[in-house]
Amino acid sequence: SEEMLIKSEKLAVVGQLSAGVVHEIRNPLTSLIGFLNLIRHGKEMNKEVLDVMTSELHRIELILSELLILAKPQEISYKKINIHKLLKDVLTLIDIQATQNNVKIHMQVEEKIPHIDCDENQLKQVFINLLKNAIEAMSFGGNINIVVKMMEDEKVIISIQDDGCGMDEEEVCKLGEPFFSRKEKGTGLGFMLSEKMIHNHKGSIQIKSVKNEGTQVNVILPLTQDQHI
Ligand code: ADP
Ligand code: MG
């Protein structure tokens, strides 16, 4: 029956996701076991070794906490917020990483953007994830432009444009699949998580990217979460 099919499809998704989780967590675990064996056989426990082991453990922690957010239906509490202020707060949080990577962030917000109904913490997390990706795409530094504008139909568009490594069509397709990452230390969960949170807000994300030129990510959010509109 149709219900059975849905159930088996769900199981297939769970299976795929579990296989990914196992794979992603096994790598840092294998490296930790390797280090412990070396230490058992007399390798010196210096700062460098401890740093590597700690960073592998942090990696496991990050994967698990991102997965938990994906797995648990998040409780959303909508409030009217000023998107300009929210973005400024996010920029304060991400400033150190941007400076360290020689990235300059410019922001242009249209006047009189109304407050929008949203869960402040979730939206902050989304913009942190997207800005981190933009920074990480520019290994030799560069510029990020954030533009906030009103659209027709009571929607706001927040576009984040970088002049980083860009993505080809295949990469854009894979973006948002769990564990798709081109980074040595990536989890491949950040974008998926962001997309989920934007969908919670009845919004959408668009990607425009050109390999070796840059990427533009557009987040489109409705002004209100009112069911009647
Ligand atoms: P992670 O950042 O942990 O790799 P994400 O889900 O955030 O995971 O992103 C997945 C992959 O998509 C990245 O590894 C990168 O290859 C690609 N990507 C995402 N954002 C950008 C961007 N702004 N420019 C270029 N590539 C990007
Ligand atoms: Mg990321």
User: Which residues in the chain show pLDDT less than 50?
Assistant: 228-229
What separation in Å is there between the alpha carbon of 33 and the centre of ligand 2? 27
pTM for the whole structure: 0.83
- Transcribe 125-183 into DSSP letters: HHHHHHHHHHHHT-TT-EEEEEEEEEETTTEEEEEEEE-SS---HHHHHHBTBTT---S
State the pLDDT at residue 229.
46
What separation in Å is there between the alpha carbon of 126 and the centre of ligand 1? 13
3-state secondary structure of 56: helix
Q: Which of 162, 191, 209 to mutate to test the pocket of ligand 1 (most atoms within 8 A of CB)?
A: 191
What separation in Å is there between the alpha carbon of 2 and the centre of ligand 1? 36
Q: What angle do CA 153, 120, 89 make, to 5 degrees?
A: 105
The rounded distance, in Å, linking the Cα atoms of 85 and 124 is 11
Atom of ligand 1 nearest to the CA of 165: 25
ipTM > 0.90 (yes/no)? yes
